Structure 1
Amino acid sequence: MLDVTKKLVELLDLSPIGDDHFQGDSEDLGFPHVFGGQVLGQALMAASRTVDDRLCHSLHAYFLRPGNHSMPIDYEVQRVRDGGSFTVRRVIARQDGKEILTGSMSFQAAEDGLSHQFEMPDAPAPETLRSEQDWGKMIADKVPEKLRDVLTRDRPIEIRPVNPGDPFNPKKRPPYRQNWLRSAGILPDDPVLHRCLLTYASDFSFLGTSLDPHGRTFMSSDMQVASLDHSIWFHRDFRMDEWLLYDKDSPSSSGGRGFNRGNFYTRDGVLVASTTQEALIRERQG
């Protein structure tokens, strides 16, 4: 396992600090606040630690406050229900005594049933694309020095965008995005870890889908942007150390909010997970 991948796996490996209470470290990715995907992934790990022999099939969370990446995060798990087929947990994430995220996760015992799915959309093979790290190296000399390391450093999740935009001169584009992603190293055979890692990765470049029709990016100085909520449904088993296509769209934006949807497909076209997110995309006045 590569060092960067091992570091991310360790980030998700929470420490127990009491009955159904856990603590996780924070990671500085160069953003002003804690990356939302980190809090989501750790929250799912905390809930999973209180459930035996069942995997998460859905997660719904609200971001309440921005997180501070210089502080650890405490996770409280509440046991809502333990049924014959489904188990429900509520998770509250806190820093400095204040809630930064609240979410509910549902777990299901394995069973067979009716099955159908959308067909996988067309996309170029990941081998034909540059990674975000490669793109970062190409533009590193055009950004402030403090951002160069953020753009060029090794990443635990390798992301290869299908049609990346120009961050220095964004154009109005249809609200559709695609990228391939996978972990940068081989992972253990732990389905809980793979779900937590997908949860972590699902927040990358998701919000920006609703900005594309307006020719803006999260770096635009006249925009205030933040994730408001995030939901995931896990449909089928998968591995995060194998390529997954993340196909995203934004059906609507209004009232200072942008709505985003996504589907994860394996290389052979199996739909393994779906996501939704609403984000604050507010134009700054003055």
Structure 2
Amino acid sequence: MKNTQELLNILTLEDKGDDNFEGDSRDIGSPNVFGGQVLAQSLNAAYRTVPKERILHSLHAYFLEAGNLNLPITYSVQSIRNGGSFSTRRVTAHQGEKTIFILACSFHKEEKGYEHQRPIKTAIKQPEELLSWSDMLEQFGDFLPQRTKAFLSIERPIDFKPVHLPNPSEKKDLPPIVDVWFKLKGDVKGLELPIKQQILTYLSDYNILTACLNPNASEANFGNTQMASLDHSMWFYRDFDFDDWMLFSIESPNSFGARGFAQGNIYTRDGKLIASVAQEGLIRPKKKK
């Protein structure tokens, strides 16, 4: 995928009737279906069954089985409740007879209320001062581990610019913090809020588990560690646009028992908090052969 339109083509599912929808997958450098894709596609299915005036405010999901890139995914939506203010949906994703994913999500009608938010970090470098993943590949490709080089070589509809650029050859433990600027490629004008939330859900599965790996970076890396999303939650707050760089600010309070937990906030460049994310993932050291 090269741009936003190609991403939207993947996230928009085919209606199979009776609240069942079907979608295909794209390779992002992993042998299995990308978790962010399944999250966003399931949200696309759920949105197609709720009143248009209701907007997603939270989702909670479990990844049950690795998805096969070569098979279509069927999403079945169950209407749990339509109340006076909230609508709740459950989505189950299948490949053949195998259930690979479940999602619960809630939609809320627009209401006015009290307001506050955690401020964006200010003492960090801006995107213009940083290298993107493509820049890193171009400048350091000959020195990167083969697996990292292959991952960075995949074309994506999003540019990522990490604020801190660790040197993989240093073998140094790092703080459990990751700050990443991101920006969509291609035309992003005129997108409706449900579509923007689906895109944000897609990209929320990028980068987040890196914060869990950082404190053990002297011995742990992407080559010797099996990593996979186990569960994923998001809370959505304010409307926004993708017309500028946005910041995903992540921290990991704990890793233990081959699992790591990370949480983060997503901001517009001018400091508006638009969503929060929490994920637990598998962080399993690979056994030496």
Which segment drifts farther, 193-202 or 2-11?
A: 2-11
Q: CA deviation at 1:186?
A: 2.3
SS of corresponding position for 2:263:
strand
- In the other structure, the counterpart of 1:202 is 204
Structure 1 residues 1-286: aligned runs within 5 Å: 4-52=3-51, 53-122=53-122, 123-142=124-143, 148=149, 150-187=151-188, 188-215=190-217, 219-221=222-224, 223-286=225-288
Partner amino acid, structure 1, of 2:223? S
- Give % identity: 44
Which segment drifts farther, 136-145 or 224-233?
A: 136-145
With over 3 angstroms needed to count, the CA separation of the structure-2 counterparts of 1:59 and 1:88, relative to structure 1, is same
SS of corresponding position for 1:253:
strand
SS of corresponding position for 1:212:
helix
Conserved? CA contact 2:183–2:246, under 8 Å: yes
With over 3 angstroms needed to count, the CA separation of the structure-2 counterparts of 1:117 and 1:144, relative to structure 1, is closer
SS of corresponding position for 2:178:
strand
Instruction: Give me the whole-angstrom Cα distance separating, in 1, the residues matched to 2:151 and 2:284.
Output: 25
With over 3 angstroms needed to count, the CA separation of the structure-2 counterparts of 1:29 and 1:168, relative to structure 1, is farther
Instruction: Give me the whole-angstrom Cα distance separating, in 2, the residues matched to 1:137 and 1:169.
Output: 20
Instruction: Give me the whole-angstrom Cα distance separating, in 2, the residues matched to 1:3 and 1:135.
Output: 18
Q: What is the number of residues matched between the two proteins?
A: 284
Instruction: Give me the whole-angstrom Cα distance separating, in 2, the residues matched to 1:249 and 1:280.
Output: 16
Instruction: Give me the whole-angstrom Cα distance separating, in 2, the residues matched to 1:277 and 1:170.
Output: 25
Deviation sequence 1:176-208 (CA, Å, 0-9, x none)? 010111211222321111000000000111111
Partner amino acid, structure 1, of 2:176? P
What is the root-mean-square deviation in Å for CA atoms of aligned residues?
Answer: 1.9
Deviation sequence 1:239-282 (CA, Å, 0-9, x none)? 23432110000001111111100001111111110000001112
With over 3 angstroms needed to count, the CA separation of the structure-2 counterparts of 1:149 and 1:6, relative to structure 1, is farther
Instruction: Give me the whole-angstrom Cα distance separating, in 2, the residues matched to 1:258 and 1:147.
Output: 21
- Structure 2 gaps, min length 5: none
Deviation sequence 1:70-96 (CA, Å, 0-9, x none)? 111110000000011000000001112
With over 3 angstroms needed to count, the CA separation of the structure-2 counterparts of 1:87 and 1:170, relative to structure 1, is farther
Partner amino acid, structure 2, of 1:219? F
Partner amino acid, structure 1, of 2:25? S
With over 3 angstroms needed to count, the CA separation of the structure-2 counterparts of 1:171 and 1:110, relative to structure 1, is same
Conserved? CA contact 1:33–1:67, under 8 Å: yes
Deviation sequence 1:91-147 (CA, Å, 0-9, x none)? 001112211110101000011100011111122211111111111222323458787
Which segment drifts farther, 65-74 or 137-146?
A: 137-146
TM-score under structure 2 length normalisation: 0.92
Q: CA deviation at 1:4?
A: 2.5
SS of corresponding position for 2:3:
helix
Runs of 4+ deviating beyond 6 Å = 144-147
Q: CA deviation at 1:284?
A: 3.0
- Structure 1 gaps, min length 5: none
TM-score under structure 1 length normalisation: 0.93
Instruction: Give me the whole-angstrom Cα distance separating, in 2, the residues matched to 1:93 and 1:149.
Output: 29
